[in-house]
Structure 1
Amino acid sequence: MGKKKRQLLIKQIISQQSIESQHQLLENLAKEGVEATQATISRDIRELRIVKVHDASGLVKYGILPEKNSQPEDQLKEVFKDSVTNVTHVQFMNVVNTLLGTADIVAAEIDELKIDGIVGTLAGTDTIVLISKSEEDAKRLNELLLSYLA
C-alpha cells in the first residue's frame, strides 16, 4: 500500500475509533492488511498533524488538527477565539486558560508557529504554560496573545 492510501486509512481509523497509542494504531492498520513500522507511523502522524487530545471524559487519544487553509498566525487567532478563555502574564511565563480538552490543540498551534520569546510550552487539559527567557519577553508575548482574543 502506498503512502497516500496508508495515511488516508490512518485518518479514517483515528476519526472512527479512540486510538490512544502508536501500537494500537499499528494493530488497527494490521487488521486492514497494512504492515508498517513504528518509524513510518511516527512520520505519518507528524505529516498528518495528528496530536494527542483529551476527549470529553478526559481520556487521551489521537486527534487530527484542522487543515490549514490560511496563514499560520490566522489559524492560531481562530483557535484562540474558539478555545481560549483567558491569558495571564506571571513573571517570565504566560498562563493560557482554555475550554476543557482543547489546551493540547492550542499548544500545538502555538508550537508550530515558533513564536519568538517562547522557550517552552506545557499543556494540560484546560491550561497551557508558556515559558519565556525574560519577563520582558513574557510581557510582549502576553500582549500578542491578548490581541488574538480581541
Structure 2
Amino acid sequence: MGKKKRQLQIKQIISQCQIESQQQLLDKLIEAGIEATQATISRDIRELKIVKTHDTNGKIKYGVLPEKKIEPIDHLKEVFKDYVTQVTHVQVMNVINTTLGTANIVAADLDELAIPEIVGTLAGTDTIVLISRSEEDAKRLNEKFLSYLE
C-alpha cells in the first residue's frame, strides 16, 4: 500500500468516523485492509495536519485542518476572528483564549507561520500560551493579535 493511498484512507476514516485515538485509527485501517505501524500513523497524522478537536458534545476526536488556499497570515487572521475570544499580554507571554476545542487549531496555524517572536507554544482545549524571548516581543505580538480581532 502506497503512502498517498494510506493517507487518503486516513482522511476518509477521520471524516466519516468518530476516531478518538491512534489505536482506533489503526483498527479502522486494518478493517479496510491497510497494514500500518503506530509510528507510520503518527507521521501520517503530522503530515496531514490532523489534530484532536471536540465534537458538539465535547467529546475528543481527530479532525483534519482545512486545506489553505490563501496566504498563511490571512488565514491566521480569519482563524483569530472565528475562534479567538481574547488575547492577554503577561510579561514574556501571551495567553490566547479560544472557543471550546479550537485552541489546537489556532496553535497549529501559529506554529506553521514560525513567527520569530514566539519561542514556545502550549495549547489546551480553549487556551494557548505563547512564550516570547522578551517582554517587548510579547507586547508586539499582543498588539498584532489584538488587531486581528477588530
Give the TM bin, normalised by the shorter chain.
Answer: over 0.9
1:127 corresponds to: 127
Q: Which one-letter code corresponds to 1:45 in the other structure?
A: I
State whether structure 2 residue 102 is matched by structure 1 residue 102.
Answer: yes
The 5 Å alignment of 1:80-99 reads 80-99=80-99
**8 A contact 1:72–1:113 mirrored in 2:** yes
Q: Which one-letter code corresponds to 1:100 in the other structure?
A: L
Instruction: Provide structure 2 residue ranges, at least 5 long, that are not aligned to the other structure.
Output: none
State whether structure 2 residue 44 is matched by structure 1 residue 16.
Answer: no
What TM-score does the superposition give when structure 1 sets the normalisation length? 0.93
- Tell me how far 1:57 sits from its aligned partner: 3.0
1:68 corresponds to: 68
1-structure distance, mates of 2:53, 2:133: 28
Deviation sequence 1:13-37 (CA, Å, 0-9, x none): 1011111221211110000110012
Q: Secondary structure at the match of 1:5?
A: helix
2-structure distance, mates of 1:129, 1:57: 25
- Tell me how far 1:39 sits from its aligned partner: 2.2
1-structure distance, mates of 2:70, 2:53: 22
Q: Give the number of equivalent residue pairs.
A: 150
Identity of aligned residues (%): 75
State whether structure 2 residue 5 is matched by structure 1 residue 5.
Answer: yes
The worse-fitting range, judged by mean Cα deviation, of 133-142 and 47-56 is: 47-56
1-structure distance, mates of 2:60, 2:120: 21
2-structure distance, mates of 1:103, 1:58: 14
Superposition misfits of 4+ residues, deviation over 6 angstroms: none
| Root-mean-square deviation over aligned CA pairs | 1.3
Instruction: Provide structure 1 residue ranges, at least 5 long, that are not aligned to the other structure.
Output: none
Q: Secondary structure at the match of 1:52?
A: strand
Q: Which one-letter code corresponds to 2:102 in the other structure?
A: T
- Tell me how far 1:99 sits from its aligned partner: 1.2
**8 A contact 1:56–1:101 mirrored in 2:** no
- Tell me how far 1:129 sits from its aligned partner: 1.1
Q: Secondary structure at the match of 1:121?
A: strand
What TM-score does the superposition give when structure 2 sets the normalisation length? 0.93
2-structure distance, mates of 1:47, 1:130: 23
Q: Secondary structure at the match of 1:18?
A: coil
